[in-house]
Amino acid sequence: MAKVLLEMKNITKTFPGVKALDNVNLKVEEGEIHALVGENGAGKSTLMNVLSGIYPYGTYEGDIIYDGEICKFDKIKDSEEKGIVIIHQELALIPYMTIGENMFLGNERGHKYALDWNETYGKADELLRTVGLKESSRTLIKDIGTGKQQLVEIAKALAKKVRLLILDEPTSSLNETDSQALLDLMLQFKKEGMTSIIISHKLNEVSYVADKITVIRDGSTIETMDKKTDEITEDRIIKGMVGRDLTDRFPKRKDVKIGDVLMEVKDWNVYHPLYTERKVVDNVSMNVRRGEVVGISGLMGAGRTELAMSIFGKSYGTNISGQLFINGKEVHLHNVKEAIDNKLAYVTEDRKGNGLILSNPIKINTTMANLAAVSSHTVIDKDKEYAVAVEYKEKLKTKCPTVEQNVGNLSGGNQQKVLLAKWMFADPDVLILDEPTRGIDVGAKYEIYCIINQLVAEGKSVIMISSELPEVLGMCDRIYVMNEGRMVGELDREEASQEVIMSHILKSSNKGA
């Protein structure tokens, strides 16, 4: 029988007004990959923050038994000294420092009066090769993509002699190729004896790597499934997460009525804001009709976000050219305010960085894109602001004690609902959704899909950018395929499939090669 490396017994953690964890139990054997799944706000990240010392001993009840001894971690450094390393969903790297500097920050080589840079970069290069990253450790973090940054975080963990690696939503910002490479790396580490805990909403990935799966719901342990002895299906996992069967992941729309073209883009070109000779959107033409959900599919780096942001009041790019029509009339949107005034909205993929003010309450975030509607003579009516926020909280089923709560204290799924509420309150005709369900659970996804269906039923148009092909296929009436800045395919719902979409991407890449 395998040795139990970690046992968390009767862990209870309370925040003001909320019991986040209620007698949670978790047992992890040495050398296994153990998955934690549950809805947003279920308590998964909170449990791992307790384990890693982010929430120090004394702020929770229960015991952490690691390698046979009871641990009382007061800070992250304490858990790292035991070989427990956590990699958060929001990567903790400093853009203008090198890969090597980031990897050994707080764990420097040499001594405090004279750092050994030869050892730092030499060891960093060795660890980068271990995780399969072919970059010099002297490269700045800002010059590598998200997938490579994730590998840097893992190399950084290896530098701390990790025994138990905790990965919180490690593939939420990665494309399918990078995601698969990361999962295969976890399996390789397992062969070498490393123990891992993975938190993920992507159930296919969980099923691929995990030996055991523990389901947490509303702060309590529901069950632990073992791949060796249990029949594990996605339906069973979902039922444990949401407390009910989810018979259809994508809600059906009734009485679909697709009308005239509402917005059209013609011959659209955009150049990179810093590397101004580099074209990131190349002669793109597309349209969306009233009552229609149009998808834009493609690999990461295809130019989808750059296209969306450049349309939305030129909020990205330089030397932008082409024509934009709304309701058949050509418009010139020079800034975000003009885009909003023309009934256009953009829900960013980066809700924490660009979409919300985390230190402000829900009510302020909900109304800030349409302050005129809650103001009189430029003075905000606090009662009206509060009433609007409560209305959207109820409409979108946002889980929070009060709209006075800061957005930063909400789970990812509920933050996404506040971001949607912000733009719905602006009353757009065209809503561009960029990765609207990234990093959120199946239950919250379903609710957001219902909101999308409700919007198009009201005659609005939705453009959905998503890296999840099942989501695009399940929600969209029509799909554009984008690759290397160009539109390389347009598919009706009936003819679209994962194979057809990937075929368009691969054929266009070969032509450009």
3-state secondary structure 256-301: CCCCCEEEEEEEEEEECCCCCCCEEEEEEEEEEECCCEEEEECCCC
Domain boundary among 427, 457, 478: 427
For residues 402 and 435, state if they share a domain: no
Out of 427, 455, 485, pick the residue that ends a domain.
427
Q: Are the C-beta atoms of residues 7 and 181 closer than 8 Å to each other?
A: no
221 and 192 in a single domain? The answer is yes
User: Helix and strand tally (H, E) in the chain?
Assistant: 16, 24
Is 450 in contact with 458 (CB distance < 8 Å)?
A: no
**Neighbour-count burial for 458-495, b at 16+ CB within 10 Å, e otherwise:** eebbbbbbbbbbebbbbbbbbbbbbbbbbbbbbbeeee
Contact partners, residue 501, CB within 8 Å, separation at least 6 = 297, 469, 472, 479, 481, 489, 491
Q: Which tokens is 507 given?
A: 């054929």
One-letter amino acid for residue 505 of the chain: I
Same-domain status, 25 and 59: yes
DSSP state of 377: T
Residue 252 belongs to a domain: no
**460 and 376 share one domain:** no
The answer to the question of residue 389 being in a domain is: yes
Q: Answer whether 266's CB lies under 8 Å from 321's CB.
A: no
Amino acid at 206: V
| Structure confidence at residue 247 (pLDDT) | 60
Structure tokens at 66: 């690691």
Whether residues 409 and 442 share a domain: the answer is: no
Same domain, 291 and 144: no
My answer on whether 367 and 300 are in the same domain is no
Identify whether residues 166 and 112 lie together within a single domain. Answer: yes
DSSP state of 510: H
Query: What's the farthest any 2 CA atoms get from each other in the chain?
Result: 73
Calculate the alpha carbon distances from 62 to 14, 25, 59, 65, 232 in Å. Answer: 12, 9, 10, 10, 29
337 and 465 both lie in a single domain: yes
Domains in the chain: how many in total? Answer: 3
Hey, CA dihedral for 457, 458, 459, 465, is it positive or negative? negative
Reading the block at residue 241, the tokens are 């997460």
CB under 8 Å, gap of 24 or more: what pairs does 100-108 form? Answer: 100/124, 100/125, 100/137, 100/138, 102/141, 102/152, 102/156, 103/127, 103/137, 103/152, 103/155, 103/156, 103/159, 104/156, 104/159, 106/77, 107/159, 107/160
How confident is the model at residue 509, as a pLDDT?
61
Closest residue by Cα to residue 445 from 168, 203, 213: 203
> Could you tell me the pTM of the whole model?
0.66
Q: Does residue 437 share a domain with residue 367?
A: no
Q: Which residues pair with 24 in a beta bridge?
A: 11
Which helix (H) or strand (E) covers residue 388, if one does?
helix 382-395
The gap between the terminal CA atoms of the chain, to the nearest Å, is 53
225 belongs to a structural domain: yes
Dihedrals phi, psi of 209, to nearest 5 degrees: -105, -25
Beta carbons within 8 Å of 169's beta carbon, 6+ residues apart? 89, 199, 200, 201, 439
Give the separation between CA 322 and CA 265, rounded to whole angstroms. Answer: 7
Q: Is the residue at 494 inside a domain?
A: yes
Q: How distant is the alpha carbon of residue 168 from its chain centre?
A: 11
CA 464, CA 308: separation in Å to the nearest integer? 10
CATH of the domain at 502: 3.40.50.300
Query: Is the Cα dihedral 323, 325, 329, 334 positive or negative?
Result: negative
Strand order from edge to edge, sheet including 84-87: 84-87, 164-168, 195-199, 33-37, 212-217, 220-226
Task: Specify if 448 maps to a domain.
Answer: yes
Three-state secondary-structure class, residue 316: coil
Query: Is residue 70 located within the same domain as residue 156?
Result: yes
CA 79 from centre of chain = 26
Does 129 map to a domain? yes
- pLDDT by residue, tens only, the chain of 513 residues: 679 999 999 999 987 667 889 999 999 999 999 999 987 678 888 999 999 999 999 999 999 999 999 999 999 999 999 999 998 877 788 989 999 999 888 888 887 678 888 888 999 999 898 888 888 999 999 888 777 888 888 888 888 888 999 998 888 767 777 788 889 989 998 999 999 999 987 888 888 999 999 999 888 999 999 998 988 888 888 788 877 655 677 888 877 889 999 999 999 999 998 888 889 999 999 999 999 999 999 876 789 999 999 999 999 999 999 999 999 999 999 999 999 999 999 999 888 878 899 999 999 999 999 999 999 888 999 999 999 999 999 988 888 889 999 998 887 788 989 999 999 999 999 999 998 887 777 777 888 899 999 999 999 999 999 988 888 999 999 999 998 899 999 999 999 988 888 888 877 765 543
Give the residue among 429, 357, 411 at the shortest CA–CA distance from 201: 411
- In-domain check, residue 348: no
Pair (41, 156) in one structural domain = yes
Per-residue CA distances from 434 to 231, 305, 437 (Å): 36, 7, 9
Domain residues for the domain of 416 are 354-427
| pLDDT value of residue 512 | 46
Distance CA 506, CA 451 (A): 33
Q: Which of 408, 427, 446 is the last residue of a domain?
A: 427
Rounded-to-integer distance, Cα 131 and Cα 399, Å: 39
Q: Sign of the C-alpha dihedral, residues 60, 62, 67, 72?
A: positive
